[in-house]
Amino acid sequence: MRHAPRRLLGVLAAATLAFTLFSAAPTAVATTTASVASAAQPLSTSTPVVFVHGYTGSASNWTTAMSVFRLNGWSSSNLFAYEYNSYGNNITNAQGLATYVNTVKARTGASKVAIVNHSMGGLVSQYYLKVLGGNTSVSHLASIAGANHGTTYAGACLIYTTCQQMYPGSSFIAQITAGDETPGTTAYATWYSACDGVIIPYTSTRLDGATNNNVLCQTHIGYLTDTVVLGQIADFVAS
């Protein structure tokens, strides 16, 4: 009986410790959750986006992409598709892109736009940003399966100037890849895949200084309806 008080004190101490541990746990979780929530930053969807199609493409190539961007918060009034002559000259096409971007900026009041390109649209975009100094007007550049370092697939259409420019080793490719491939403060990102089938070699899309995303397996045209990749691009542009 002399030891009963000690046993009782021990039981009370254990009960108190258990109560303290279990009651403190929800508080700790709530604090962690609050910290994560406060760290999350809202994405910016006010930047106008200019989509640039590939060889023989058109504005209709971007129907799914525009739907994805709208679902991610963009207004239709901030989504634009630039069309150019696939059989002409990519220097002229890039000059046309420069004019188009200036028109979009004037219409929206934005100081910069984001550019999302596909395939040969990569050449048009890179020439505009690097050679024509367009990087000062572009916040983000997303290149989807861009022919940024050329593709041997262009050998099938060498009767056209654009395809001659798109062939690896052309003077056009040399001009846009010499020195800094990602000039200015523009954020650059690419998406490429070994399953592409048109950009050969498929690593041609990668740009030094860009965030280069290797997609597990996607075909060249499949990207245009790939809502997962397009969603990643929307997140990138909004970052």
More confident residue, 208 or 40: 208
Alpha-carbon distance 146 to 49, whole Å? 17
Q: Beta 49-52 vs 138-144: how paired, if at all?
A: unpaired
Can you give the pLDDT at residue 6? 39
Pick from 82, 83, 141: nearest CA to 112: 141
DSSP state of 44: P
Alpha-carbon distance 196 to 145, whole Å? 8
- Whether residue 61 contacts residue 55, with contact meaning beta carbons closer than 8 Å, is answered with no
pLDDT range class, residue 36, cuts 50, 70, 90:
very low
**pLDDT tens, residue by residue, 183-194:** 999 999 999 999
DSSP state of 43: P
Q: Helix, strand or coil for residue 154?
A: helix
Element holding 97 (H helix, E strand): helix 90-108
**pLDDT tens, residue by residue, 195-227:** 999 999 999 999 999 999 999 999 999 999 999
pLDDT at 8 over 70: no
DSSP state of 42: P
Element holding 176 (H helix, E strand): helix 171-177
**pLDDT tens, residue by residue, 41-53:** 445 899 999 999 9
Q: Partners of 143 in the beta sheet?
A: 117, 190
Q: Which residue matches tokens 């654009």? A: 162
Least confident of 19-33, 69-83, 111-125: 19-33
Alpha-carbon distance 154 to 13, whole Å? 80
Alpha-carbon distance 147 to 121, whole Å? 8
